[in-house]
Amino acid sequence: MSFSSFPLPSAHPLAGHGWDAGWETEFAPYAAQGLLPGRVVRVDRGQCDVVTPGGTVRADTEFVVPRDPMKVVCTGDWVAVDPEGGDPRYVRTLLPRRTAFVRSTSSKRSEGQILAANVDHAVVAVSLGGELDLGRVERFLALAWESGAQPVVVLTKADLVPDPVGLSYLVQDVETTAPDVPVLTVSAHDGTGLDVLVALVGGGTSVLLGQSGAGKSSLANALLGADVMGVQATRDVDGKGRHTTTTRNLLTLPGGGVLIDTPGLRGVGLWDAETGVGQVFAEIEELAGRCRFHDCAHESEPGCAVLAALETGELSVRRLDSYRKLVRENQWIVAKTDARLRAEIRKDWKRKGAEGRAAMEAKRGRAR
- Contact criterion met (CB below 8 Å) for 229 and 261: yes
Angle between helices 134-147 and 164-177 (to 10 degrees): 50
pLDDT by residue for the chain (368 residues), tens digit each?
A: 444 455 555 578 999 999 999 999 999 999 999 999 999 999 988 899 999 999 999 999 998 888 777 788 999 999 999 998 777 899 999 999 999 988 876 545 556 788 899 999 999 999 998 889 999 999 999 999 988 999 999 999 999 998 999 999 999 999 999 999 999 999 998 899 999 999 998 889 999 998 878 888 889 999 998 776 545 444 333 444 444 445 789 999 998 899 998 876 666 777 778 889 999 999 999 999 999 998 888 888 899 999 999 999 999 999 999 999 998 888 877 776 655 544 554 555 456 455 555 655 665 565 55
User: How many helices (H) and strands (E) are present in the chain, helices listed first?
Assistant: 10, 13
Which pTM does this prediction carry? 0.81
- Contact criterion met (CB below 8 Å) for 103 and 207: no
- Contact criterion met (CB below 8 Å) for 27 and 20: no
User: What local confidence, expressed as pLDDT, does residue 338 receive?
Assistant: 56
- How many angstroms separate the CA atoms of 180 and 92, rounded? 40
Neighbours of 261 (CB within 10 A): 26
- How many angstroms separate the CA atoms of 201 and 16, rounded? 13
User: What local confidence, expressed as pLDDT, does residue 160 receive?
Assistant: 92
User: What local confidence, expressed as pLDDT, does residue 349 receive?
Assistant: 46
Q: SS3 for 267-301, per residue?
A: CCECCCCHHHHHHHCHHHHHHHCCCCCCCCCCCCC
Instruction: For 288-352, give the DSSP string.
Output: HTTSSSTT--SSS-TT-HHHHHHHHTSS-HHHHHHHHHHHHHHHHHHHTT-HHHHHHHHHHHHHH
CA 221 to chain centre: 20
- Contact criterion met (CB below 8 Å) for 342 and 349: no
- How many angstroms separate the CA atoms of 50 and 77, rounded? 9
User: What local confidence, expressed as pLDDT, does residue 234 receive?
Assistant: 44
User: What local confidence, expressed as pLDDT, does residue 295 receive?
Assistant: 84
Residues composing the chain = 368
User: What local confidence, expressed as pLDDT, does residue 367 receive?
Assistant: 53
